Every structure is written in structure tokens, then in C-alpha cells.
Amino acid sequence: MPTLLHIDSSAFHEGSVSREVAATFRKEWEAQHPDGTVIYRDLAADPLPHLTADAITASFVPAADHTPEQRAAHALRETLAEELERADAVLIGTPMYNFTIPSSLKAWLDQVIIIGRTGGEGSTVAGTPVTVVTARGGSYAAGTPRESFEFASNYLEKVLTGMLGLEVDFIVPELTLAHVKPEMADLRDLADASRTRAHEEAVSKAKALAVRLAA
């Protein structure tokens, strides 16, 4: 049965729109695959270490010659790579922090991209579909004043497709701070519509993916 790798990265467990919409996708996925498997990583609750010199050099040293530090760092990367390789589909929930992704998600990417295996030409995960829920407090859509500040979806599309060879699809709930910031009060209807649309897309995309994987 299909396996879903679900990654959450918002620092907030309550009130996180990226977690909320990702949960909607996962719920529909599980409804479509009642006997399937979900591998879940909460990068806020259980953060991964940033890539170290030991982790990098371990890839170029025979296993028998690894130091204890290299051995531990390499084992973690092996575990993360195997999780990604096992997945028939990937779900990533991420907010936008300071115009880009959380450092916790960047750490996962750095750990899981292993050149000669998951990363680069001949990637072992090439073609795996990944759905990314990327929420943001404002709007960075085409034609908006801050369009050029968008380094979340733009970055993820490049790294997920260009380095891992994944097939990326985005769900983008916007204006999530409209109900928090008084100066955004006039945008609350748009925010609500964006949130509703994101949940609808999560359901429809999960169903469509189920059909695709069953074909």
C-alpha cells in the first residue's frame, strides 16, 4: 500500500494554517488509503541538526574509517534518505518566515539531499510527487507590492525539482495574519476565502493523487 511522508515545520502547533491545511490533505489521503502508511516528522517538535562537517565528510570516507561523530551523522542522513525513498508521495507543510522557509525545513533538505543518491542526476526519488502547503501572513502573488520578496515557494520549487527531481504541486493560503493585525482588517474576507480554497485544494489534490497512484 502507498506510503506518505508528511513533514510539518511551523514553529506553532496551535493556530498554524500550514499544519491545518496539511492535516486536511493527510486526512483525505488516509481516507483514500486506509491500509496505507504515513511517516510523520514534526521538525518543530523534533528538530534535526543542521548539516555539519562530520555529516558532509562521512560521504567521502569509507564506513570503516568513520569517526564516531561521522558515524552518527551519516546514520541520520541514511534514515532520512530511506524515509524519502520509501515514500510514494510527500506532503510538506511550511510557513513563510522572513520571506523564506523555516530553518528547520532547510535543515531537513540539507540532510536529505545526498549527491549521488537522492540528489543530482539519477536521483533515487526522481518523479515522486510532493504537495507543499506554504502559508504566509501577507500576499506575495504576482502583481502585489511584495511579489519580489517571495523566497519560499520559489526556493522550494527549485530545490525540490532541481536537486531531488520531485514533481511539485503547491497549495498557498495567504493573508493568514489578517485576523491578527488590525491594519489588515479589510483583508479578512480575502483571507477567509484563501483559507477555504486551500482546504478545498487539499482534498481535491489528495483525491487526484490517489487516482494517479492507483493507475
SS (H, E, C) 55-108: HHHHCCCCHHHCCHHHHHHHHHHHHHHHHHHHCCEEEEEEECECCECCHHHHHH
pLDDT at 214: 82
C-beta separation of 92 from 19 below 8 A: no
Q: What is the CATH number of domain 3-214?
A: 3.40.50.360
pLDDT at 28: 98
C-beta separation of 191 from 176 below 8 A: yes
* Spans of all domains in the chain: 3-214
pLDDT at 215: 73
Single pTM value for the model: 0.96
pLDDT tens series, the chain, 215 aa: 899 999 999 999 999 999 999 999 999 999 999 999 999 999 999 999 999 999 999 989 999 999 999 999 999 999 999 999 999 999 999 999 999 999 999 999 999 999 999 999 999 999 999 999 999 999 999 999 999 999 999 999 999 999 999 999 999 999 999 999 999 999 999 999 999 999 999 999 999 999 898 87
Give the whole-angstrom CA distance, residue 149 versus residue 181: 20
pLDDT at 1: 86
